[in-house]
A and B are shown apart, each in its own frame.
Chain A
Amino acid sequence: MAKKDIISLIRENVIQGRVAQDDEGLDGGMVGEPGVTELIEKALAKRLDVRDIINKGLTEAMNLVGQKFEQKEYYIPDMLASAEAVGVAMKLLEPYLAQSGIKPKGKVLLATVKGDLHDIGKNIVTILLRGAGYTVKDLGNDMEPQSIVNAVRAEKPQFLGLSALLTSTMVNMRDTIQALEESGLRDKVKVIIGGAPVSEEYAKSIGADGYGSDGFQALAVIESLSST
């Protein structure tokens, strides 16, 4: 199979949201055909340029998926399937990034704060960030400020994302940021927050670095903070 073919197949399969060969794909009926996992493995075996795989395969496909979402052809579950496929691809490509001269995009820790068990929003952000090439560690929900601080100390992420759904638990975002300050870690990590009750204004008031009104905003905010 020629080089161009595998890359265009990767692109098509990201658009179909097929992680592996047992996925039926958005249009259906594709079970058994190689998915993104198998195609990336094949591309690596054939020693294709990792930069081409990422730029012409994955990134180009996600740009098209983004357009389809904008045009209301794609729903959120479609977008998530594509992002998940890219996330899996990036994981497979990770060991080859350095030798190809590609700078990793950075590490993000995510947590739903203390007292709150709602984690759908955080889980969506996890998939979208992985799909954009970030390394994401999901700490889970109901996380004590001190546990989050310990994780920041151990993992040394560039970003920390905090989530809450309840008005009664959003105050624990402030406590978490204070705990970071008290442990001298506040300037080591950029903190962004999200969740139904919080706002840009609230983010500013508790000293967060950014606010994402939804998963896509969260990604956009992290991308813009990355470039500063």
Chain B
Amino acid sequence: MIRKGLAGGSYQPLTEESIAKIDQAVMAVVEEVGFEINSEKALQLFEKAGARVGREERRVRLSQAKARELIGMAPPEVRLCGQEEKHDVLLGGNRVYAGTGGTALYIYEPAGKQKRPATLEDLKRIARLVNRLDNIHLFMLPTYPNELPIEQVDANRFFAGLDNTTKHIMGGVYTLGGIKQVLRIAEIVAGSAEELVKRPLISMIGCSISPLKMDANYGDLVVEIAQRGIPLVCPAEPLCGATSPVTLAGNLVIQTADSLMGVMLTQIVKPGTPVIFGSVATNTDLRNLNYLAGSVEMGLLNAAGAQMAQFYHLPFYATGGMTDSKVLDAQSGYESAISSLLCALAGANFIHDAAGMMEFALTACYEKFVIDNEILGMVMRAVDGIKVNDDTLAFDLIKEVGPGGNFVAAKHTRRFMRREHYQPTLSDRNGREEWEAKGGKAIWQKAGEKVRRLIAEPKYHLPAEVRQQILSEIKGIVD
């Protein structure tokens, strides 16, 4: 059984009072401190919408009332579609989904404990692998094709995704020309521009620079994507002690304000356009300023981010499930599990980076996608919680079996065992003798076998005529 879109929210690191205090601080930042907007287009749009604009510092300040009005225009739910409808997800409320994230530059190979630059072929193979991993609900393009010039990267990345998996494709974008190509590719796959807006098979990401700054390139990207009505994530990545106050509460103020800046801009461009509030918040190691992807604080911050999103009635993109370990060891397992679990239990709508990422998000690993698929299965089981009703209490059965009996042969056991208990797809639960008889393999070795098996299975490809049209119309796609 595949668990997705279940309601989280049982874990709430912020009290209602804390949420209100963070909101007040955020509104004070929006009103008094403002944002430095380096995109001329975005600056003009804010000005037209009634923001106070300090031209010299490129500073945009909005009244609390105006900010709340713009935030209120954003839809509370955003549907992200797959090429197959069964892969559609409806982000919003406290429904939980998990997916891959990006964008890693390297691939880690556990057999030789080495990493190498990622290629376009890796991206295609990972897409094929993720297409077969049920607990990974969305496919965010996880790797960067190092061999391609930057102008060809966007089109090739999205084509690789669309041509190898029917799950929804989300991705970061690098050039304005690239975005236009990507949108055209997606239109061809969807059938038309209108059809693509109706059933968005792709979505994009426009990142701000914490604290409180938007660069020219990303500002223009946000405006372009919002005009087209394609779902857009506006995440912020404040790092405790580096790009935000060192305290988690201070970080949440910056994260919330920065993401809302993007959300508000999209609503000025086009009221009601689908936009996703997002967090990539985490801390740094203040001994070397390394970005941390596997810290417990990252889990706390993103769980709290889910509560802030619920407060503003916005769909939420969280970050969790990564590790800073360089190998597939115990650290890689516990770090990934802890942050995924915290986000999921808090009801984060889309936990991105939840599979395959290690080493400060610089490196992806085939085996880790498979291992994280298992972690996510267990995490989603935890979200599912404990159902209590007459059937599950099973008083009649207890009465029937009586003292000293057993439940192995009961119909009730067969009826509920698969639903009530997560069925592992990778973990070893044998006794030692049996485990040894099967080769005494470590988890990364078993994961490697599964990778090879799944990648060898029949592949998905776009319909031949669609492929042909894309390849003839969009130059520079490497088939």
Contacts and interface: CB of A to CB of B under 8 A. Distances in A.
Contacts of B243: 120
Contacts of A118: 209
A103 interface: no
Interface in B271-293: 286-289
Nearest to B241: A77
B215 A75 contact: no
Nearest to B215: A117
B33 interface: no
Contact of A76 (B174, B209, B288): B288
Nearest to B144: A167
B188 interface: no
Contacts of B242: 120
B286 A77 contact: yes
B76 to A, nearest CB: 32
Given A76-B288, A120-B242, 13 more contacts: A72-B287, A75-B286, A75-B287, A76-B286, A76-B287, A76-B289, A77-B241, A77-B286, A117-B209, A117-B215, A124-B289, A168-B174, A214-B288
B132 to A, nearest CB: 31
Contacts of A117: 38, 209, 213, 215
How large, as a class, is the contact surface on chain A? 10 to 19
Contacts of A214: 288-289
Interface of A: 72, 75-77, 115, 117-118, 120, 124, 168, 214
B20 to A, nearest CB: 30
Contacts of B241: 77
6 contacts: A75-B286, A76-B286, A117-B38, A120-B242, A214-B288, A214-B289
Nearest to A216: B288
- Please provide the 5 A-B residue pairs with the shortest distance between their CB atoms, ordered closest to farther: A75-B286, A117-B215, A76-B286, A75-B287, A76-B289
A168 B288 contact: no
Contacts of B213: 117
Contacts of A72: 287
Nearest to A142: B38
Contacts of A168: 150, 174
Interface in B215-256: 215, 217, 241-243
Contacts of B215: 117
A120 B209 CA distance: 12
Contacts of B289: 76, 120, 124, 214
A115 B209 CA distance: 13
Contacts of B150: 168
Contacts of A76: 286-289
Contacts of B209: 117-118
A168 B288 CA distance: 24
Contacts of A120: 242-243, 289
A40 B327 CA distance: 51
B166 to A, nearest CB: 31
A117 B38 CA distance: 10
A77 B287 CA distance: 8
A214 B150 CA distance: 27
Contacts of B287: 72, 75-76
B216 to A, nearest CB: 8
A77 B288 CA distance: 10
